[in-house]
Amino acid sequence: MVSISRTAAKMFKEACKSKDLDPDDVYLRLFIQSNMAALTIDSLKNSTDDLHNKRGINIIIDNISNEWLSDAKIDYQSSDGATGFTVDTDDLPTAGSAGCGSCTGDAGCCG
């Protein structure tokens, strides 16, 4: 089951507010891109998306990506000058961890 750390949930809410978005009105989309997990803020939920509400965050995963991301752990790390969201999962066919690498959602990237 997908999970999100307290820190990541807090930082997601802060990222939304910095973009003048209400965190309750948008989704944290988790998806596969180039064999890696990626995150974006999205204002649209498709009928085929799976919805997970964790720590007050609405996380959506499309039905194709859900096969590999159903056990994903979303975190936020700040170390050695690098900060950002991370996704850790054991089910990806190649790389098992990635960050917020795309801005495909209409609301913009989460970092």
Written as six digits, the tokens of 91 are 């089910």
CATH of the domain at 84: 2.60.300.12
Residue 60 lies in a domain: yes
Residue 86 CB partners (closer than 8 Å, separation 6+) = 74, 75, 76, 77, 97, 98, 99
Residue 105 lies in a domain: no
Q: DSSP readout, 45-100?
A: --TT-EEEEETTEEEEE-TTTHHHHTT-EEEEEEETTEEEEEEE-S--SS--EEE-
Residue 110 lies in a domain: no
pLDDT tens column, 13-72: 999 999 999 999 999 999 998 888 899 999 999 999 999 999 999 999 999 898 889 899
What average pLDDT does range 95-107 have in this prediction? 42
Residue 26 lies in a domain: yes
Report yes or no: 6 and 57 within 8 Å, Cβ to Cβ: no
Written as six digits, the tokens of 73 are 């752990």
